[in-house]
Amino acid sequence: MRSPEEMNPEAVMENPAQSGRIALAEGPAEEAAVLYVSRNSDSAAFHTIQDAVRHAEEHSGHPFVIQIAPGIYREHLVIRTRGLTLRGESAEDRAVSGSRKGMDGELSSGPAAGNEVRITGSLGGYEILEDGIKRGTFRTQTVLIAADDVTLENLTIENAAGPGYLAGQAIALHAYADRLRFYRVRLLGQQDTLFTGPLPEKEVEPGGFRGPTESFERRLCRMYFRECYVEGNIDFIFGGACAWFEKCEIFCRDPHNPEQTHDSEQTHDPELAQDSVQMHNPEQSRAPIAYVTAPSTPAGQPFGYVFNRCLLRSDCPPESCFLGRPWREDAKAVFLRCRIGGHIRKDLWDDWGKEAAHTRSFFAGYDCVWTDGVRAGEAVDFHPSSGPAASFSHSLSEEEAVFYTPENVLQIRERGI
């Protein structure tokens, strides 16, 4: 196991130019102009979110807050303007989807139908485009953020393409930038719901990264998620970011369940759905249903994904899901003080057939508890004695866990992000 000294981020933070510590503001804060978006109001200045974002781009020397009225916005949104804030209305009334108990109180079940801002798309990676090439993973996103210092609040972002075995990869949010902040954001999808840049240095197959960010610099991307909800199944939180998830709900969605989970509006042919359940019935296969994370943490980056005080729930069968697997060999993911459902297997992680991951990946946990199933109430053992992850899964001591704070992980000067 790596020593606390090895996990100490000070070696990275010694060079401010390299670390680029997060500054909450550079100089005196300029009052932001507010742009109003509504699909249904004639008095609103903009009827699509993209039109408001485009206006902000054209006046990029000034800060903007885009205030969005409740409604369903069928858009593929691209954000390339630094410092932009997108905020759903009724911020004080919004909460994360799903009730959560035992996490500093109980949170309500979220905005009622018709009273949320939902940005929805339905592009899937299996779609064949006019040039005869599959759309692929990185051209499916509903929302792309490609600018630093962007904040999203009180929004739902959805990719309703369907389960991966029918639609392929289907990203809801593609975030490839630094100092991004997400508050009470709901991300709905199935395979590859949330991508957090940077991309790995090289794709495994030619064209595997084809999309709007394939030529982007492989740089540090830091992100903060608070009271968010992320739903999916296969590798649904993936990428190379340094990301902190605080009091979030992570829901493993059973792709074989013909019933729609939560409030997704996607619809499928019932006969096709039933055939899919029969063809992909988990009782007929030992294959896992879901992998929560698939980090591709760059070599030398001290932190990858950190989940603190999060709740992991599911409609999947017991012990049918992994906490994660390494998309690249230097992957890092840590779970702190989380409540973990019985859908997660007791061996926790899969090595994805990567022998090098056994010496280079770092998956760990501290003070986590099983919430249901035969192990309900027991502490999660992050140091399994057997299984593919036995050599790279670790139980952190209290002394080691103390290094995992937002200040250290995200390299920020002060709390308040």
| Domain residue ranges in the chain | 32-68, 70-279+287-410
Q: Which residues, in sequence order, are CB contacts of 53 under 8 Å at separation 6+?
A: 66, 77, 78, 79, 81, 84
Lowest mean per-residue pLDDT among 4-8, 128-132, 235-239: 4-8
101 pLDDT more than 70: no
**Is pLDDT of 163 > 70?**
yes
pLDDT grade, residue 279 (50/70/90)? Answer: very low
Contacts (Cβ under 8 Å, ≥6 apart) of 285:
none
Mean pLDDT (the chain, rounded): 84
Is the pLDDT at 409 greater than 60, yes or no?
Answer: yes
The confidence score (pLDDT) of residue 40 equals 87
* Model confidence pLDDT, tens digit, residues 104-133: 444 333 444 458 999 999 999 999 999 999
Q: What is the DSSP string of 172-196?
A: SEEE-SSSEEEES-EEE-STT-EEE
Report helix, strand or coil for 309. Answer: coil
Asked if pLDDT for residue 283 goes beyond 80, the answer is no
CA quadruple 251, 253, 259, 265: dihedral positive or negative?
Answer: positive
In this prediction, residue 414 has a pLDDT band, given cuts at 50, 70 and 90, of: low
Give the separation between CA 23 and CA 148, rounded to whole angstroms: 12
C-alpha span between 104 and 292 (Å, rounded): 24
What's the pLDDT score for residue 99? 34
Q: In what order do the strands lie in the sheet with 194-196?
A: 77-79, 143-145, 173-175, 194-196, 237-239, 290-295, 321-324
- Please state, in angstroms and rounded to a whole number, the distance separating the CA atoms of residues 417 and 404: 16
Structure tokens at 76: 């593929």
Q: How many CB atoms are closer than 10 A to CB 362? A: 23
Note the pLDDT of residue 42: 83
- Look at residue 26 and tell me whether its pLDDT is greater than 50: no
- How confident is residue 374, by pLDDT bands cut at 50, 70 and 90? confident
Say what the pLDDT of residue 17 is. Answer: 33
Q: What does the pLDDT read at residue 276?
A: 35
Instruction: Please tell me the predicted confidence (pLDDT) of residue 123.
Output: 98
**Do 243 and 196 meet the contact criterion of CB atoms below 8 Å apart?**
yes
239 sits in which H/E element = strand 237-239
| Tokens read off for 190 | 């199935």
Output the pLDDT for position 332.
98
CATH code assigned to 70-279+287-410: 2.160.20.10
Q: Which pLDDT does position 231 carry in this prediction?
A: 98
Tokens standing for 159? 């990719």
Which range (23-27, 57-61, 348-352) has the least confidence? 23-27
| Res 114: pLDDT | 58
Say if residue 255 is preceded by a cis peptide, omega within 30 of 0.
no
User: pTM of the prediction?
Assistant: 0.85
Query: Is the pLDDT assigned to residue 248 strictly greater than 80?
Result: yes
pLDDT in tens, 168-226: 999 999 999 999 999 999 999 999 999 999 999 999 999 999 999 999 999 999 999 99
Residue 7's φ and ψ, nearest 5 degrees, are -85, -10
